[in-house]
């Protein structure tokens, strides 16, 4: 029997869900730390139903997709170290059901093909494009007004360019001018006047945490820091509501230890006399069952990802790209964001993103729409559009803080 961390100390049965894992790419970070083994695990499958709803596939197609993604991730893991400075990026295509790997040196086409991936010879290496993005990021950090008129910029591996989203009808600042100076390495794309918003004001998540100003956010991941100090990782902008934070039942969780608004991650202490921690992600089901976290291997671009949140429950989508710079509607700029198509709404902030049992990140911002000034903000899929959401990579947070995830 397990005492769920989000409830009182009365014993409750665990329906632990063992996700059908993707063989994902290891990222350098502090080693994960296993918690005490709870009893009574019932092993189930991946979130098949949620993936089916999120991706518009039947259950059989979802199972095929997971198998294909596992194979693609394993191929990527083998190839990337061998390609060195010629590596131009890689991505999974659901239509062809294959991984594509870009290289700048045609001589490397053969080992890529022999590994079972499609080859694309490109002009720019991934490192070259990343350097362009870093230059634009640095300009925006020095002067946020330089990002005026832009909705974001990121490295787009399939087109081998840095894509800059320019908002229609808005005057652009110095970042766009600097981007155009890179010629063919940059592609400027016009987008609607619809800047993203932080998942704020109604901030719930995997499970609710409440700030002194009564704003709410979500539990992200349980972890340990320093000499085994218990902590919880969530979104950084949640700290705008003050601290210390409490849980849904009014029991104190702990004060903020870190809150980075630029990369949007935060860490709170956890009072373990009030809360039991574990590698658990809520399924939001009547039986209070959970998904288990087994590690934090990074899922490839183009593969599926899911999120747990109080507002939208468990929703799933596709990873579009990583390390996007995202200007917000409040004038702030987020860095290092991973864009995806999961439905995320106010109330989901800080909630855990996961793929194949591997922690991916914490929910940060999304693009919303609503019918009028008095109606709630909703994710774009409820208006027939593709969702646009972001999370901060968990491995970035672990590497920066030295925290260690609790894993099964």
**Residue 99 and residue 41 share a domain:** no
Q: Which positions ≥6 away from 162 have C-beta within 8 Å?
A: 129, 132, 133, 136, 153, 154, 155, 156, 179, 182, 185, 186, 187
Q: Which of 41-50, 153-162, 321-330 has the lowest mean pLDDT?
A: 41-50
264 is catalytic: yes
Q: Which of 34-48, 190-204, 229-243, 304-318 has the lowest mean pLDDT?
A: 34-48
Q: Is residue 6 part of a domain?
A: no
204 is catalytic: no
Q: Which of 237, 304, 308, 389 is catalytic?
A: 237
Judge whether residue 37 has pLDDT over 70. Answer: no
Q: Is residue 331 part of a domain?
A: yes
CB 75 within 8 A of CB 112: no
Burial class (CB in 10 A: 0-12, 13-18, 19+), 239: buried
**Residue 307 and residue 274 share a domain:** yes
Q: Write the pLDDT tens digit of every residue in 395-405.
A: 999 999 999 99
Q: Write the pLDDT tens digit of every residue in 250-279.
A: 788 899 999 999 999 999 998 877 788 888
Q: Is residue 101 part of a domain?
A: yes
Tokens describing residue 169: 């009808």
pLDDT number for residue 335: 96
More reliable by pLDDT, 343 or 311: 343
Categorize the per-residue pLDDT at 118 as very low, low, confident or very high, splitting at 50, 70 and 90.
very high
CATH code for the domain of 27: 2.40.10.10
Residue in the structure block whose two tokens are 């702030």:
332
Q: Is residue 7 part of a domain?
A: no
Q: Which of 29, 289, 349, 389 is catalytic?
A: 349
218 is catalytic: no
Domain range spanning residue 140?
Answer: 126-191
pLDDT number for residue 210: 85
**Residue 96 and residue 152 share a domain:** no
Tokens describing residue 38: 């709870």
Q: How far apart are CA 164 and CA 148, in angstroms?
A: 12
Select from 195, 194, 151, 210 the least CA-distant residue to 350: 210
pLDDT number for residue 194: 64
**Residue 138 and residue 107 share a domain:** no
Judge whether residue 183 has pLDDT over 70. Answer: yes
Q: How far apart are CA 158 and CA 349, in angstroms?
A: 29
Q: Is residue 250 part of a domain?
A: yes
Q: What is the 3-class SS of the chain, one letter each residue?
A: CECCCCCCCCCECCCEECCCCCCCECCCCCCCECCCCCCCCCCCCCCHHHHHHHHCCCHHHHHHHHHHHHHHHHHHHHHHHHHHHHEEEEEEECCCCEEEEEECCHHHHHHHHHCCCEEEECCCCHHHHHHHHHHHHHHHHHCHHHHCCEEEEEEEHHHCEEEEEEECCCCCCHHHHHHHCCHHHEEEEEECCCCCEECCCCCCCCCEEECCCCCEEECCEEEEECCCEEEEEECHHHHHHCCCEEECCCCEEECEEEEECCCCEEEEECCCCCCCCCCEEECCCCCCCEEECCECCECCCCCEEEEEECCCEEEEEEEEEEEEEEECCCCCEEEEEEEECCCCCCCCCCCEEEECCEEEEEEEEECEECCCCCCCCEEHHHHCCCCCEEEEEHHHHHHHHCCEEECC
pLDDT number for residue 213: 87
Select from 252, 377, 357, 407 the least CA-distant residue to 17: 357
Q: Sign of torsion, CA 56 299 185 330? A: positive
**Residue 103 and residue 28 share a domain:** no
* Pairing outcome for strands 352-355 and 186-191: unpaired
Q: How far apart are CA 137 and CA 238, in angstroms?
A: 23
> Which of 43-52, 201-210, 225-234 is the most confident on average?
225-234
**Mean pLDDT, rounded, for 290-307:** 93
**Mean pLDDT, rounded, for 238-259:** 86
**Residue 379 and residue 235 share a domain:** yes
* Pairing outcome for strands 358-366 and 389-393: antiparallel
Q: Which of 264, 282, 294, 308 is catalytic?
A: 264
**Residue 167 and residue 35 share a domain:** no
Judge whether residue 1 has pLDDT over 60. Answer: no
pLDDT number for residue 394: 98
pLDDT number for residue 82: 93
**Residue 295 and residue 175 share a domain:** no
CATH code for the domain of 169: 3.30.300.50
Task: Report the percentage of the chain scoring pLDDT > 70.
Answer: 86
- CA–chain centroid gap for 18, Å, is 20
Q: Is residue 52 part of a domain?
A: no
pLDDT number for residue 6: 36
Select from 2, 4, 1 the least CA-distant residue to 248: 4
Instruction: Tell me if the pTM is above 0.75.
Output: no
Categorize the per-residue pLDDT at 209 as very low, low, confident or very high, splitting at 50, 70 and 90.
confident
CB 189 within 8 A of CB 180: no
Q: Is residue 241 part of a domain?
A: yes
Structurally, how many domains does the chain consist of?
3
Examine the fold and report which residue of 157, 191, 225 is the final residue of a domain before the chain moves on: 191
* Pairing outcome for strands 221-225 and 161-167: unpaired
Judge whether residue 42 has pLDDT over 50. Answer: no
Categorize the per-residue pLDDT at 90 as very low, low, confident or very high, splitting at 50, 70 and 90.
very high
**Residue 325 and residue 223 share a domain:** yes
Q: How far apart are CA 374 and CA 377, in angstroms?
A: 9
Query: Mean pLDDT, the chain, as a whole number?
Result: 84
Examine the fold and report which residue of 151, 172, 191 is the final residue of a domain before the chain moves on: 191
Q: How far apart are CA 197 and CA 194, in angstroms?
A: 9
**Residue 130 and residue 100 share a domain:** no
**Mean pLDDT, rounded, for 338-360:** 94
pLDDT number for residue 369: 94
Q: Is residue 111 part of a domain?
A: yes
């Amino acid at each position: 029997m397990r005492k769920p961390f989000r409830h009182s100390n009365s014993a409750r049965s665990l329906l632990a869900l063992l996700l059908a894992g993707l063989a994902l790419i290891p990222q350098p970070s502090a080693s994960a730390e296993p918690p005490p083994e709870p009893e009574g695990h019932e092993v189930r499958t991946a979130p098949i139903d949620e993936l089916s709803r999120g991706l518009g596939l039947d259950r059989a197609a979802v199972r095929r997709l997971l198998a294909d993604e596992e194979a693609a991730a394993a191929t990527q893991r083998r190839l990337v170290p061998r390609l060195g400075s010629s590596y131009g990026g890689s991505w999974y295509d659901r239509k062809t059901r294959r991984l594509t790997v870009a290289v700048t040196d045609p001589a490397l086409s053969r080992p890529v093909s022999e590994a079972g991936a499609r080859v694309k010879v490109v002009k720019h290496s991934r490192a070259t494009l990343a350097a362009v993005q870093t230059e634009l990021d640095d300009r925006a950090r020095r002067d946020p007004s330089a990002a005026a008129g832009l909705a974001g910029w990121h490295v787009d591996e399939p087109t081998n360019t840095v894509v800059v989203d320019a908002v229609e009808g808005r005057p652009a600042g110095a970042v766009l001018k600097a981007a155009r100076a890179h010629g063919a390495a940059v592609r400027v794309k016009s987008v609607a006047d619809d800047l993203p918003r932080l998942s704020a004001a109604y901030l719930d998540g995997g499970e609710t945490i409440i700030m002194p100003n009564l704003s709410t956010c979500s539990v992200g991941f349980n972890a340990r820091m320093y000499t085994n100090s218990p902590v919880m990782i969530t979104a950084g902008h949640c700290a705008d509501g003050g601290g210390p934070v409490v849980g849904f039942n009014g029991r104190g969780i702990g004060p903020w230890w870190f809150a980075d608004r630029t990369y949007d991650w935060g860490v709170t202490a956890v009072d373990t006399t009030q809360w039991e921690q574990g590698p658990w992600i809520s399924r939001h089901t009547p039986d209070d069952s959970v998904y288990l976290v087994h590690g934090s291997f990074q899922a490839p671009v183009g593969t599926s990802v899911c999120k747990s949140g109080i507002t939208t429950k468990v929703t799933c989508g596709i990873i579009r790209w990583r390390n996007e710079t995202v200007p917000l509607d409040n004038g702030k700029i987020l860095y290092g964001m991973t864009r995806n198509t999961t439905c995320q709404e106010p109330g989901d902030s800080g909630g855990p993103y996961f793929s194949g049992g591997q922690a991916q990140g914490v929910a940060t911002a999304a693009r919303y729409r609503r019918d009028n000034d008095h109606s709630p903000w909703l994710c774009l899929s409820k208006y027939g559009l593709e969702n646009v959401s972001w999370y901060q990579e968990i491995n970035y947070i672990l590497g920066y803080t030295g925290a260690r995830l609790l894993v099964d």
